[in-house]
């Protein structure tokens, strides 16, 4: 088991920069956003907890870029995607296994030139698939030199703590995903001059609490899980969860949406989403607070799991790899982007769709097409009247 050494812990929140951003969701538009991001790449630096997406593998091989990849050496549940990593290494990618001081290398980002793609999702078929199937996730691409420099510093630090991957397979086959029937709702959206900050962990508990405590009107949280307790034995409180409840007591509108995949509803686990959801709603009812927790209706949304690690506070969205347990912000390598401006509304709309099943006022995948068709029809009608 790895240990985390206090003197080596790093948390960085950069100065806010005005940046151009692209925002997307998984599974709706994650693969198309990533594909566009990779176009024209001559060099790519990738960090991800796990990597088993055959679609992403093929896109990377198509770029002919100089590729360096860091993946976690010992993920929970065991190493996955060896066939994909073998193929990438076979074609010249430098594949490295993180073996440094942090508990896990859990970050998920790609650096290209002066841009960085940050996602809540690993590079797996559930996060980035050409079939648009898999988990709900959030992502953002930031075009900004200062932001990119912050990620480069982290990448090289973790690269120094990594060892070369050696393919142990004498032969292997690559399995591809079958087509599904998910209907995308959210396409990629582009915004200019958005205020962007970078959050890099471990030791990021206070930084996340600062985001929560900055709320003046509303907090919408969408998370894979929020443990009822950070320590099941001592029943020590989850500081993030308690901060949300305290903000509700101050009159802030707080909504919490949690994954409902079977293992996140384990009634034998006192810290599971089942009990977190129950705990929050009991407090909301007993104290008459503007506070509500829901377990996601996965069949309604059409996804396998709710794998988001996101939050929208007023007009600011936080997209990160941080799970809301104690280990993730304290001991893992994690990264996140804090974006303020119009881009945050995109995630509000995505949240509200997952919350209630109601599509946003603007259907991101079809509105542009409808406008174009309507314009063409109008032009034809006018032209016929004139002639």
Query: Nearest to residue 259, comparing CAs of 297, 227, 209, 228?
Result: 297
Q: pLDDT at position 359, please? A: 78
CA angle 361, 301, 124 (to 5 degrees): 115
pTM: 0.89
Q: pLDDT at position 114, please? A: 97
Residue 297 CA: distances (Å) to CA of 198, 270, 290, 306: 31, 22, 21, 9
- How do the domains of the chain map onto residue ranges? 14-172+182-371
Third-level CATH fold of 14-172+182-371: Endonuclease; Chain A (3.30.870)
Both structure tokens of 16: 């806010």
pLDDT by position in tens, the chain (length 387): 343 333 344 456 665 678 999 999 999 999 999 999 999 999 999 999 999 999 999 999 999 999 999 999 999 999 999 999 999 999 999 999 999 999 999 999 999 999 999 999 999 999 999 888 899 999 999 999 999 999 999 999 999 999 999 999 988 777 766 666 788 999 999 999 999 999 999 999 999 999 999 999 999 999 999 999 999 999 999 999 999 999 999 999 999 999 999 999 999 999 999 999 999 999 999 999 999 999 999 999 999 999 999 999 999 999 999 999 999 999 999 999 999 999 999 999 999 999 998 877 655 444 444 434 444 545 455 445 555
Query: Nearest to residue 223, comparing CAs of 120, 141, 134, 129?
Result: 120
Cα(183)–Cα(359) distance, rounded to whole angstroms? Answer: 12
């Amino acid at each position: 088991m790895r240990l985390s050494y206090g003197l080596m812990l790093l948390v960085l929140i950069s100065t806010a920069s005005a940046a151009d951003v692209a925002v997307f969701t998984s599974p709706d538009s994650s693969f198309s956003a990533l594909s566009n991001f990779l176009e024209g790449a001559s060099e790519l630096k990738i960090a991800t907890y796990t990597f088993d997406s055959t679609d992403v593998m093929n896109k990377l091989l198509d770029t002919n870029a100089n590729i360096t990849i860091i993946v976690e050496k010992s993920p929970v549940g065991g190493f996955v995607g060896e066939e994909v990593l073998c193929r990438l290494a076979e074609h010249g990618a430098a594949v490295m296994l993180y073996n440094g001081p942090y508990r896990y290398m859990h970050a998920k980002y790609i650096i290209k030139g002066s841009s960085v793609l940050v996602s809540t999702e690993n590079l797996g078929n559930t996060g980035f698939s050409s079939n648009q199937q898999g988990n709900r996730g959030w992502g953002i691409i930031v075009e900004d030199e200062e932001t990119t420099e912050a990620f480069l510093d982290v990448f090289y630090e973790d690269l120094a703590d990594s060892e070369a991957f050696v393919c142990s397979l004498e032969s292997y086959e690559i399995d591809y995903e079958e087509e599904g029937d998910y209907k995308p709702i959210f396409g990629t959206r582009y915004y200019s001059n958005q205020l962007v900050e970078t959050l890099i962990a471990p030791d990021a508990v206070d930084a996340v609490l600062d985001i929560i405590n900055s709320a003046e009107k509303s907090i919408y949280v969408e998370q894979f899980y929020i443990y009822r307790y950070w320590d099941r034995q001592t029943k020590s409180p989850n500081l993030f969860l308690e901060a949300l409840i305290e903000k509700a007591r101050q009159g802030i509108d707080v909504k919490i949406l949690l994954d409902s995949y079977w293992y996140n509803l384990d009634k034998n686990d006192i810290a599971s989403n089942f009990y977190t959801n129950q705990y929050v709603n009991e407090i909301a009812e007993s104290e008459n607070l503007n506070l509500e927790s829901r377990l996601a209706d996965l069949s309604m949304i059409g996804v396998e799991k709710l794998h988001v690690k996101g939050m929208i506070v007023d007009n600011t969205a936080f997209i990160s790899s941080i799970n809301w347990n104690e280990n993730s912000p304290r001991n893992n390598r994690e990264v996140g982007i804090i974006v303020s401006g119009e881009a945050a509304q995109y995630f509000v709309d995505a949240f509200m769709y997952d919350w209630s099943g109601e599509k946003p006022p603007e259907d991101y995948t079809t509105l542009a097409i409808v406008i174009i068709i309507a314009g063409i029809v109008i032009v034809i009608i006018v032209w016929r009247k004139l002639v």
